[in-house]
Structure 1
């Protein structure tokens, strides 16, 4: 769908009036809860870190969590279909392995699935997000497996006691997109509750690119007064259901040919799947004052994902059905406290984590003799960790932490086969009624791994304006159950080390940050589909990623904010001249926010990603690289009473681009797209 951008631009601008008002936008004093710091704020975390507040989200005009995160320094969006479903946020140049090497948390709970589908960003609505913390190169001590490039911690709105309030969000856009979301919250006395319901339907940019999602969540909160006021208890239940099509990649020729060829599906119209993701969680926080804060969190997640890929005509659809069923249970205990020693206050935290997962993958139906298969497994693990911030005086603090992790797994494969009894007279003759069809074991493997993560960092508040920092972190990732189900015989955990240093500076109108880093990974795990074996294995060579991230926010005048960031990474195989696939060396973002009146705002943004090598091009010589691209977006919001109206145009100049390619086939991103929406505050 092509939309003339000049009339759209004129329409947006005509709604604005020449008045001015400032918005709060500078963020270095934001409290950071995902990582320890000397003064509990963003300013003294010894890592590249940023915080996205609810106000930032409102001003950004982003159309999803992936779109929003891709505008941060050092983050790059990998998307198959231009929506949050199937999108991955790459951090510090991890490329195709980012799906398992960047950890996404929602209220402290892992969003990453136990298979290779990664974190389903479509299950998180921006309108329900209170803040997002992005910690680059950090999180392995506290959060463990998979926090390699760093973590993205999404924190949602909590219910609070008080009168009943609500919010209704409606949005409509190109490709038949329609979304409605309702949230109600309130309570009396120590009790509070919130309910969220949503529905999203879209025809999708391409043929067979349909997407429909239904979300519901209920959260109860208990905040008693009096002698029990030290207690904070919350219970949460959520369900995400979706159905989606899988249009498949297009050839390089079709990608360049024009809109009709790019939008055409290369797959069967029956290729697609669905997800039923159910979560239950409970969190108890007890603040014992000088004795510290104790947190106990229990979470249970069930996920069912039936899907069809490469549907063949003439074969019953039920015999081509694949299903992944997984269950995960997590227990986390944390004790945080402050101690006084040598005349200064020091912060300590200790934790224990236990998790267990069950997994079953069924392929090619349930009863096709010689063809239906099953891979079942379980993964159990536990870890102890501790970390602290030690203040040495003169603005200098030391961060140190250690984690010890153990995981064991068992995987069993089986195939649906037919076995019969025979008699020999003198040649074999089948005994009538003796044949039995059943799943019979084909193989079994077991693994037991011990891993360790550590961190040593320092920050120095040179002045009220300037802070410098440095850190040395060790991280790891064990193969997940999905990888173990299709693994090379010698598949093993990966281990890595990240060193970084940087500075942050702020004045009344300017914030600036810069970080340099070097990430070295041994035995990085990847999916090898280029060799024809299609198995998960370790890279033969270590990988080294050396880069820099720069971030600037400048309040030029009360009504005008200029924000820009840039990243450069050299993602190499050690001892080779080849880059790690799917990593653009250069990324950059620009955002200009103009607030000519208290109730009106226009946001203009641009995203740039340099060229990257094909996902199957390990030597950088086998396939054509993906070209670089720059995409521009425009958004407007106008507040009128309890309603906030918004509209925008994404991909304003109709750029043809793709973020992912394998073996010279491309997944084209959407063309120019217009959208509009309204949000009502209900009281």
Structure 2
């Protein structure tokens, strides 16, 4: 790990000055929930099996359902940004599914993190932000965030980390549910209903939600309807079940503003008449069974998705996609007393296709099939934990039409992780490994040359960290570094016969991400708690004509702080502040622009009162009414930028009834 500390730039260590200020804080570690909750109620799934906290993924964190409710978040994406402190960039559609950037991967950030729901990948074979808004927030039990390379267990695209969303399971002999109604700024209307019921060995859950809003910008209205339901049968040795998830989204696309003058004149204006819709259906079968010390599990899922976009009155483009995933796996637990061993191995099979058509004519059709085998062994002996894992994955990619190509290849991932508890208040952990990412069908269709697919991206990953404190006060410090080759990125400056000169997806010269993360939590009193998360990251080219230059659309620093008040009398309040540093415009690879995307600070808050089964709340985002943007492309000259404004101030009122 010496290379991590010795090669980080001087600027990377400036945030260490804040460590003393955070020393009285405590980070909500993976073995922690809300301050008043019992530790033993939390399970984790870093091994792709349910686990107790002693087998938690090293260096991971958890957001609980209670934390999400106290913060008043309406979807998983919002929870990850507000509570998890993850920087989110407004997506190009202007919807609530922000592109999440764990460790400074810029415009490709959402392709470098794997997002899963109950172990099934939500981010798949297209260049689109994962539709986390389709997951009913009432159905979420917890969200697990693992920062850093995780390709051994989760395959391609996990260089910056993984986000696992775990849904609730119905309790035997119990019935519960909720009704939620929300109204707010810009004609915001949302209704949600959830129900879980258990009897004998069976349980079911169903969630319905619908929202309509005009959104902040002109010509940016959104309507979304979601359904999620499941049925499972649990028995002494395991469980078996089925889930159905469906989402329908219709939106107007406000487009970009062509220069800063237009943004400052009126950030709400639109220059677009484009509309878009997404229909997505997912069917999942799952099973778990225990035989002695063995645990066997498997998931089989199939997703159909149709995306339609085009100008009003014109013939639209239709993207049809299908993904089938099958993931059998096994775990063997041995040991007694202070010594335990966990051996996990399994396979992941995926078959996906995506087709572009217009007016009934197919212009492009692509496919990507993969098969992988992985194995991981972890030893937990007294105060020490050591984990070793490896993965081998084979890919077969192809496309017909004007962007025809065909290629097959294999790629490896591996990692070694360790944790040592010097005292009950002091832990040190480290990780070294190799992760990878493979260009998806959309990226290959927009590469620089016909007949040539984009090369796989690889990363050598390093992490060193320490945690200090207990359940009441804790701070965690992590140093990290990713050395990448063939990073997959969209470069607007290079010509492409696929995009008429508007840039192309390509492999970059070698790049690097390195930095520091500080995370902390403190229980200030019986009623007050505070969370603070800070990240500093340096993203730069290490070879080639841009050597030493910064990668675009990466803020060097971002920080989140939240103060929570729960006095125990039915009242509660939550306020958060997030600051994001300035960034280089997308496309400014030469770093020639003196202008930057400006730094910005946003404030959100919520006040709620509970009375019996009812809860009434008022919440607000961007409470200071800041005009800002986090997504912009071009050369940054006043007349050539493409700016996507972020939302202004919004206020919502909600009523909830639990039964």
TM-score normalised over the length of structure 2: 0.88
SS of 1:362 mapped into structure 2: strand
Q: 1:56 to 1:66 in 2, by over 3 A?
A: same
- CA distance in 2 between counterparts of 1:56 and 1:644 reads 15
> Could you tell me whether the CA contact under 8 Å between 1:81 and 1:668 is conserved in 2?
no
Deviation at 1:72, TM superposition (A): 5.3
**Which residue does the alignment assign to 2:270?**
265
SS of 1:24 mapped into structure 2: coil
**Which residue does the alignment assign to 2:314?**
317
Report whether the alignment pairs 1:640 with 2:611.
Answer: yes
Q: Deviations over 1:487-513 (max 9, x none)?
A: 234521111111001011232520211
> Could you tell me whether the CA contact under 8 Å between 1:497 and 1:519 is conserved in 2?
yes
Query: Which of 220, 227, 230 matches 1:219?
Result: 230
**Which residue does the alignment assign to 2:129?**
118
Unaligned runs of 5+ residues in structure 1 are 1-21, 368-372, 414-441
Query: Which of 471, 478, 484 matches 2:438?
Result: 478
**Which residue does the alignment assign to 1:24?**
36
**Which residue does the alignment assign to 2:45?**
33
Counterpart mapping for 1:488-567 below 5 A: 488-489=448-449, 490=452, 491-533=454-496, 534=499, 536-567=504-535
Query: Which of 236, 240, 246 matches 2:247?
Result: 240
**Which residue does the alignment assign to 1:100?**
111
Q: Deviations over 1:176-223 (max 9, x none)?
A: 110001111213211111111111111111111010011112200101
Query: Which of 440, 445, 448 matches 2:408?
Result: 448
Q: 1:550 to 1:218 in 2, by over 3 A?
A: same
Deviation at 1:45, TM superposition (A): 3.6
> Could you tell me whether the CA contact under 8 Å between 1:80 and 1:659 is conserved in 2?
no
Query: Which of 368, 378, 389 matches 1:389?
Result: 378
- CA distance in 1 between counterparts of 2:589 and 2:105 reads 14
Report whether the alignment pairs 1:284 with 2:287.
Answer: yes
TM-score normalised over the length of structure 1: 0.85
Q: Which runs of 4+ in 1 moved over 6 A?
A: 25-29
- CA distance in 2 between counterparts of 1:36 and 1:332 reads 10
Deviation at 1:583, TM superposition (A): 0.7
- CA distance in 2 between counterparts of 1:590 and 1:28 reads 27
Q: Which has the larger radius of gyration?
A: 1
- CA distance in 2 between counterparts of 1:623 and 1:481 reads 35
**Which residue does the alignment assign to 2:393?**
405
- CA distance in 2 between counterparts of 1:624 and 1:25 reads 48
Aligned length: 609
- CA distance in 1 between counterparts of 2:426 and 2:515 reads 22
> Could you tell me whether the CA contact under 8 Å between 1:73 and 1:566 is conserved in 2?
no
Unaligned runs of 5+ residues in structure 2 are 1-33, 635-640
SS of 1:67 mapped into structure 2: helix
- CA distance in 1 between counterparts of 2:93 and 2:400 reads 36
> Could you tell me whether the CA contact under 8 Å between 1:644 and 1:680 is conserved in 2?
yes
Query: Which of 538, 544, 547 matches 1:570?
Result: 538
Deviates more, 1:346-355 or 1:508-517: 508-517
> Could you tell me whether the CA contact under 8 Å between 1:77 and 1:89 is conserved in 2?
yes
Report whether the alignment pairs 1:155 with 2:166.
Answer: yes
Q: 1:63 to 1:217 in 2, by over 3 A?
A: closer
Query: Which of 541, 544, 554 matches 1:583?
Result: 554
Deviation at 1:528, TM superposition (A): 2.5
- CA distance in 2 between counterparts of 1:512 and 1:29 reads 22
- CA distance in 1 between counterparts of 2:192 and 2:276 reads 23
SS of 2:299 mapped into structure 1: strand
**Which residue does the alignment assign to 1:677?**
654
**Which residue does the alignment assign to 2:258?**
251
- CA distance in 2 between counterparts of 1:81 and 1:541 reads 26
- CA distance in 2 between counterparts of 1:73 and 1:617 reads 29
> Could you tell me whether the CA contact under 8 Å between 2:91 and 2:129 is conserved in 1?
no
- CA distance in 2 between counterparts of 1:547 and 1:74 reads 16
> Could you tell me whether the CA contact under 8 Å between 1:216 and 1:240 is conserved in 2?
yes
Deviation at 1:41, TM superposition (A): 2.3
Counterpart mapping for 1:188-227 below 5 A: 188-224=199-235
Deviation at 1:623, TM superposition (A): 7.0
> Could you tell me whether the CA contact under 8 Å between 2:413 and 2:433 is conserved in 1?
yes
Q: 1:673 to 1:308 in 2, by over 3 A?
A: same
How large is the RMSD of aligned CA atoms in angstroms? Answer: 2.4
Deviation at 1:376, TM superposition (A): 0.5
> Could you tell me whether the CA contact under 8 Å between 2:556 and 2:583 is conserved in 1?
yes
Q: Deviations over 1:501-548 (max 9, x none)?
A: 101123252021110000111001112233342464434321101110
Q: 1:43 to 1:601 in 2, by over 3 A?
A: farther
**Which residue does the alignment assign to 1:430?**
none
**Which residue does the alignment assign to 1:307?**
309
Q: 1:42 to 1:644 in 2, by over 3 A?
A: farther
Counterpart mapping for 1:315-394 below 5 A: 317-318=314-315, 321-340=316-335, 344-363=339-358, 365-366=359-360, 374-391=363-380, 393-394=381-382
- CA distance in 1 between counterparts of 2:179 and 2:644 reads 34
> Could you tell me whether the CA contact under 8 Å between 1:457 and 1:471 is conserved in 2?
yes
Q: 1:623 to 1:248 in 2, by over 3 A?
A: farther
- CA distance in 1 between counterparts of 2:91 and 2:404 reads 34
> Could you tell me whether the CA contact under 8 Å between 1:307 and 1:323 is conserved in 2?
yes
SS of 1:596 mapped into structure 2: coil
**Which residue does the alignment assign to 1:420?**
none
- CA distance in 1 between counterparts of 2:353 and 2:92 reads 29
Q: 1:667 to 1:172 in 2, by over 3 A?
A: same
Deviation at 1:24, TM superposition (A): 2.0
**Which residue does the alignment assign to 1:427?**
none
Q: Deviations over 1:598-639 (max 9, x none)?
A: 311111110010001111111222473100011111211111
SS of 2:142 mapped into structure 1: strand
- CA distance in 2 between counterparts of 1:672 and 1:82 reads 19
Deviation at 1:343, TM superposition (A): 8.5
- CA distance in 2 between counterparts of 1:604 and 1:85 reads 20
**Which residue does the alignment assign to 2:195?**
184
SS of 1:66 mapped into structure 2: helix
Deviation at 1:671, TM superposition (A): 1.4
Deviation at 1:23, TM superposition (A): 5.3
> Could you tell me whether the CA contact under 8 Å between 1:362 and 1:375 is conserved in 2?
yes
**Which residue does the alignment assign to 2:16?**
none
